[in-house]
């Protein structure tokens, strides 16, 4: 019913509700908190539910459809100004940049995850990495170098913004001082047939408390990560683009002395709807302005 009778759309309500643009204005016509909403294309509210278990969701959707059926055509099929796209205030990926998807999961000891629901703690979580052209070009060797150190600021960015427990999205990026060490080196495996193949290896050590978001309670404890990294990268010299990127970073993660293990997998992003969602840190910084600068170049 959801796929056939509705147009499903997923949004970060915390951000959408604060956006000062036509999309934010439209959202605020019928929404004011995180919930499931049914609404007509003109913003007429049909139904709202903060939590609907599956059997009740069907009933809820039927009720929304019944109400929708009573609306005039002007509500069901209003004129939507395509020019609103130009007034959008949400962040966009850098032109000529590189977008990666980072998937994270607790490998052991998910009980330390920053989320109350145990079921969620065992699930993978996702974020995106947005790299500018200048940043991703720093993933490549310079000249004929057979081995090289990846740009320290770039590696620090990956450590600071993307080795966090995003499950539940209850924490922000690591403070600068929490990055005790991070390093990635590259070794050129092959430079032939129009491609450059590189093997990556390194480590990331993070220690300390994570700065909580302003509207959260006290910090959830002292955290320590001791991660090792390995990856591969292929650069297509003809197309001047990275055609393969796989980086796995994993290792012990302790919180208040409680041990666990966490893993992160960075790879080229796909073309699904979720892949267009901005990185958590970019979205929040864009809106609140109180997050550290995300781009290094």
Partner 1 sequence: MKTVICVGLWLSLCIECWAQTPSRRPLELPAEFAAIRDTIAPQPEEELWKKIPWKTSLLEARQVAAKQGKPLFVWSMDGHPLCLG
Q: Within 9-68, which residues bind partner 1 (CB under 8 A)?
A: 9-14, 16, 22-23, 26-27, 30-31, 33-41, 46, 61, 64-65, 68
Question: Toward partner 1, which CB reaches closer, 16 or 140?
Answer: 16
Q: Are 235 and 198 in contact (CB under 8 A)?
A: yes
Which residue is listed with tokens 């309670």?
217
Among 69-77, 173-181, 216-224, 288-296, the segment contacting partner 1 (CB under 8 A): 69-77
Nearer to partner 1, 2 or 145 (CB): 2
> Strand, coil or helix: what is 77?
coil
Q: DSSP letters along 208-238, please?
A: EEPPPPTTS-S---EEEEEEEEEEEEEEETT
Nearer Cβ to partner 1, position 148 or 245? 245
Residues 257-269: b if buried by 16+ CB within 10 A, e if exposed:
eeebbbbbbbbbb
- In angstroms, what is the minimal distance from the CB of 195 to partner 1? 5
- State in angstroms the smallest separation of the CB of 177 from partner 1: 25
CB of 255 to partner 1, least distance (A): 19
**Taking CB under 8 A as the criterion, which residues in 80-119 touch partner 1?**
80, 82, 84-85, 88, 103-105, 107
- Which of 94, 97, 109, 123 binds partner 1 (CB under 8 A)? It is 123
Name which of residues 133 to 152 contact partner 1 (CB under 8 A).
none
> Which is nearer to partner 1, 161 or 264 (by Cβ)?
264
Task: Tell the smallest beta-carbon distance from residue 297 to partner 1 (Å).
Answer: 25
Rounded Cα gap, residues 294 and 154, in angstroms:
10
Per CB under 8 A, the list member of 174, 253, 264, 294 interacting with partner 1 is 264
Alpha-carbon 243 to chain mean position = 21
In the complex, what is the shortest distance from the CB of residue 82 to partner 1, in angstroms, rounded to a whole number?
7
Binding mask 152-191 for partner 1 (x = CB under 8 A): --------------xxxx-------------------xx-
| 224 contacts 260 by C-beta, under 8 angstroms | no
Query: By C-beta, is 79 or 257 nearer to partner 1?
Result: 79
- What length is written for the chain? 297
Q: How far apart are CA 16 and CA 26, in angstroms?
A: 10
Residue 128's nearest CA partner among 82, 177, 91 is 91
The single-letter DSSP state of residue 291 is S
Q: Rule CB under 8 A: choose which of 72, 96, 181, 194 binds partner 1.
A: 194
Of residues 96, 113, 97, 115, the one with CA closest to residue 105: 113
Q: How far is CA 205 from the centre of its chain?
A: 21
> Which value, in Å, is the radius of gyration of the alpha carbons in the chain?
22
Of 62, 63, 72, 77, the residue at the interface with partner 1 (CB under 8 A) is 77
Tell me if 241 sits within 8 A of 211, measured CB to CB. Answer: no
- Total residues interacting with partner 1, rule: CB under 8 A: 84
The CA–CA distances, whole Å, from 139 to 150, 172, 199, 251 equal: 6, 25, 11, 23
Binds partner 1 by CB under 8 A, chosen from 63, 72, 120, 239: 120
Among the residue ranges 135-143, 172-180, 217-225, 244-252, the one whose residues contact partner 1 (CB under 8 A): 244-252
Between residues 135 and 261, which has the closer beta carbon with respect to partner 1? 261
């Amino acid at each position: 019913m959801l796929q056939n009778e509705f147009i499903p759309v997923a949004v970060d309500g915390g951000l959408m509700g604060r956006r000062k643009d036509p999309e934010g204005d439209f959202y605020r016509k019928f929404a004011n908190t995180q919930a499931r909403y049914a609404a007509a294309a003109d913003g007429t509210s049909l139904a709202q539910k903060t939590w609907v278990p599956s059997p009740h969701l069907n009933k809820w959707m039927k009720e929304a459809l019944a109400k929708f059926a009573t609306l005039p055509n002007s509500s069901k099929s209003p004129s939507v100004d395509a020019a609103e796209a130009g007034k959008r205030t949400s962040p966009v990926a850098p032109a000529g940049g590189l977008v990666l998807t980072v998937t994270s999961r607790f490998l052991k000891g998910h009980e330390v995850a920053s989320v109350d629901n145990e079921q969620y703690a065992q699930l993978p979580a996702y974020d995106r990495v947005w790299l500018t052209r200048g940043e991703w070009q720093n993933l490549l060797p310079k000249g004929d170098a057979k081995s090289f150190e990846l740009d320290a600021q770039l590696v620090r960015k990956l450590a600071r913004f993307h080795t966090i427990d995003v499950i539940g999205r209850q924490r922000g990026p690591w403070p600068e001082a929490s990055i005790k060490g991070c390093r990635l080196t590259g070794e050129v495996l092959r430079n032939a047939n129009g491609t450059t193949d590189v093997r990556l290896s390194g480590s990331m050590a993070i220690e300390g408390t994570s700065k909580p978001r302003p509207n959260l309670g006290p910090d959830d404890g002292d955290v320590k990560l001791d991660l090792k990294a390995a990856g591969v990268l292929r650069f297509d010299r003809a197309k001047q683009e990275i055609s393969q990127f796989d980086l796995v970073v994993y290792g012990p993660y302790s919180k208040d002395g409680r041990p666990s293990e966490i893993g992160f997998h960075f790879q080229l992003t796909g073309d699904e709807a979720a892949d267009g969602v901005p990185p958590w840190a970019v979205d929040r910084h864009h809106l609140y302005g109180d997050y550290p600068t995300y781009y290094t170049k």
